[in-house]
Chains A and B, each alone.
Chain A
Amino acid sequence: MEPVISYIGLSALLFTIGGIGLCLRRNAIVLFMCVEMMLNAVNLAFVTFSKLVGNLDGQVAVFFVMVIAAAESAIGLAIILSVFRSVASIETTDSAELKW
């Protein structure tokens, strides 16, 4: 039982670090890495819970999450590129044409 708790703890920690990173950083690629970290925290939670409840649904879910994360990075990097082409910067503070 003990190791299971520590895996859940690690997953929660990773999720929190990702969340804090999102609040503090302003570089689009770093923000994107934070999101990826949150998704991986979810994967760890899925695998741990799968072990805990004793069926494979959680491990199957991880594959789907991984595929979706891959699709997200493909689209995300393309969007960041297109922003860079028009603004010449990927700091989110420089993309501030739309406000209030």
Chain B
Amino acid sequence: MSALAPFAPILTLSLGSLGYLVSGKLLESNKSSSLFAMALIGIAAYLTFGLVPSSIAIEHGLIVNSFTRFFGALACIGALLSIVATSGSVGGEKIGMLREYYFLMITSLCGALVMIYASDFLTLFIGIEVASLALYCLCGAQVTKRASSEASLKYFLLGCVSSAFMLYGIALWYGATGTLMISKIPSSAGTIAIVSFLFMIVGLAFKLGLAPFHFWVPDVYQGAPTSVTTFMSCVIKVAAFAALFKVTLSAFFLPNEWSVGVLWVIAVLAMTIGNLAALQQRSVKRLLAYSSVAQAGYMMIGLVALQNDPSVLASSVFYLVSYCAMTIGAFSVLSAVGPDADDLQDLKGLVKRSPFLAICMTLFFLGLAGLPPSLAGLMGKVYLFSGALASGCYGLAIVAVLNSALACAYYFRVPAAMLFQPPATEIRVSVTPQAVVSIAVCAIAVVGLGVYPEPLLKAVEAVAAVLLAR
């Protein structure tokens, strides 16, 4: 029994989520069901982080070490913040089935945790599927809205294809090594290992929304209810990055120059395509979606530059944390402005309608652009780019710096519209207290992680050390 203790967060979520299915009238209202979800995720967040930092592995299944603790806690906290921020506004989004809505959110988080904890490819795949299947449904939660079901169909079809690719990669890996464990690939594996690597990278790049496999990202981010977008923009990113780190570092450890080349191309494409496409968006949700493609590209720098300077991996994880705070914050503000707030028009003159939201949103956008006073984004970018330079990836560093300069063009548009343009209506935005708390936490994180980064830096270095241990 004690052997199962480290996996308590997964058990809490999976068993707790059953509560929604058997509770009858008890969890029918938005208030009670959202409180139950927050409680469950809160317990899970405590369990991921509060347990002793021992390293335990159940054969053929799950593993616990400081890497899984860090990513598990990050996913749980992200989920908690996004649910707290949006719990007040889901009512306005015309989601017909609130109990099922929270049930699916918790199931999805549970799948994300399984992805993070997985120590063999089959478990990893099951985690991916549990997380994604729940999200396909969540994207279509606004059954009366056409864009919502369309987003869910697109996400479902493309997601299934990416799963099939991932799975074929796993089958090839099994053929090459004779095991499903995520362990170092033997050097005898040969060509089949390279093909397997490519298939898995395609599958994971889909889930991460990295170009050139990003086509679903803008449609799904825009079509899905804002509360769901808030959730997925953080939780799925975190879990998929954990899976990517596992696959590339623990299994393949970049067998040759050639596979670094593949990751280099994906990183450059994601940054450039994401930023270029975001330039011409009027919809804030689409803009943030394309920006997330570009940001994922920045985070790939850690994997590409790793060979010459392993410390850059820690910078990638640091950037992931600050990105999560910024993206949850930005989508939460959008959801607080209104259930259908999407066009730039809706944010015009927000500073007159709700100064708090406008100032926080400005912080988040400046952070995404990498400018002060949102120091977390700035520090993250400085660490990443200087790491890339230090390890001799000059081309990559130049592309990244040019891209972040280009990105300022569209990141400035939203704060400018909020602060300097007249509002379309004078109606004040009423923000629920939960949303205020959650957005304030994100804003404090965005500024605070830059002012006082030492504790986080120490944690991400420990995480990188686990990944790089051979």
Binding site for B on A (CB under 8 A): 8, 15, 18, 22, 28, 31-32, 35, 38-39, 41-42, 45-46, 48-50, 52-55, 57-58, 60-61, 64-65, 68, 71-72, 75-76, 78-80, 82-83, 85-87, 92, 95-100
Which residues from chain B sit less than 8 Å from chain A, CB to CB?
122, 125-126, 129, 133, 136-137, 140, 143-147, 149-154, 156-157, 160-161, 163-164, 167-168, 170-172, 174-175, 178-180, 218-219, 222-223, 280
Minimum CB distance partner of B277 in chain A:
A100
- Shortest distance between the CB of A90 and any CB in chain B (Å): 9
Question: Per DSSP, are chain A's interface residues mostly helix, strand or loop, or mixed?
Answer: helix
List residues of chain A with CB within 8 A of the CB of B154.
95, 98
Q: Contact partner of A32 among B126, B150, B157, B163, CB < 8 A?
A: B157
Given A28-B157, A45-B171, A71-B129, also A61-B147 (CB < 8 A) = no
* Residue in B136, B147, B150, B171 whose CB lies within 8 Å of A49: B171
Report whether B146 and A64 are in contact in the complex, using a CB–CB cutoff of 8 Å: no
29 residue pairs bridging A and B, Cβ less than 8 Å apart = A8-B175, A32-B157, A42-B170, A42-B171, A46-B171, A48-B175, A49-B174, A53-B175, A53-B178, A71-B129, A72-B133, A72-B163, A75-B133, A75-B137, A76-B157, A79-B136, A79-B137, A79-B149, A82-B143, A82-B152, A83-B150, A86-B143, A86-B144, A87-B146, A92-B157, A95-B154, A97-B150, A98-B218, A99-B219
> Are B126 and A28 in touch, CB under 8 angstroms?
no
Which A residue's beta carbon lies closest to that of B179?
A57
- Please name the residue on chain B nearest to A34 by beta carbon: B161
Give me the 5 closest cross-chain CB pairs, A-B, nearest first: A53-B178, A49-B175, A38-B164, A45-B171, A98-B219
Do residues B160 and A53 form an inter-chain contact, with CB atoms below 8 A?
Answer: no
Q: How far is the CA of A86 from the CA of B150 in the complex (A)?
A: 9
- Nearest chain B CB to A86's CB is how many angstroms away? 5
Q: Which residue of A lies closest to B223 (CB)?
A: A98
Tell me if A22 and B161 are in contact (CB < 8 A): yes
Contacts of A38 in B (CB 8 A): 161, 164, 168
Tell me the nearest residue of chain A to B122, going by C-beta: A61
Flag if A82 contacts B140 (CB, 8 Å).
Answer: yes
* Contact of A28 (CB < 8 Å), options: B140, B153, B167, B178: B153
Q: Which residue of A lies closest to B171 (CB)?
A: A45
Q: Please judge, given known A-B contacts A72-B133, A98-B151, whether A35 and B168 are in contact too, CB under 8 Å.
A: no
Most buried by A among B167, B174, B223: B167
**From A61, A75, A87, contact of B150 by CB (8 A):** A87
Contact A79 B156 (CB under 8 A): yes
Please tell me if the beta carbons of A92 and B153 are within 8 angstroms of each other in the complex. Answer: yes
Number of A-B pairs, beta carbon distance below 8 Å: 128
Instruction: Decide if B180 touches A57 in the complex (CB within 8 Å).
Output: yes
Q: What is the CB-to-nearest-CB distance from B284 to chain A, in angstroms, rounded to a whole number?
A: 15
- Min CB distance, B168 to chain A, in Å? 5
Q: Once the chains bind, are B168 and A42 in contact (CB under 8 Å)?
A: yes
A15-B168, A42-B171 in contact; A64/B133 too (CB < 8 A)?
no
A58 touches B157 (CB 8 A): no
Give, as a whole number of angstroms, the nearest-CB distance from B214 to chain A: 13
- B167 proximity list for chain A (CB < 8 A): 39, 42, 65
Q: Which of B144, B151, B163, B168 is within 8 Å of A41, CB to CB?
A: B168
B178 — which chain A residues lie within 8 A by C-beta?
A: 53-55, 57
Give the distance to chain B from A64, nearest Cβ to Cβ, in Å: 6
CA separation between A83 and B155, bound complex, in Å?
13
- Contact present for A35 and B172 (CB under 8 Å): no
**Most A CB atoms within 10 A — which of B126, B151, B171, B219?**
B171
Residues of A within 8 A of B129 (CB): 68, 71-72
User: Is A76 a contact partner of B156 (Cβ separation < 8 A)?
Assistant: yes
Closest to B134 in A: A75
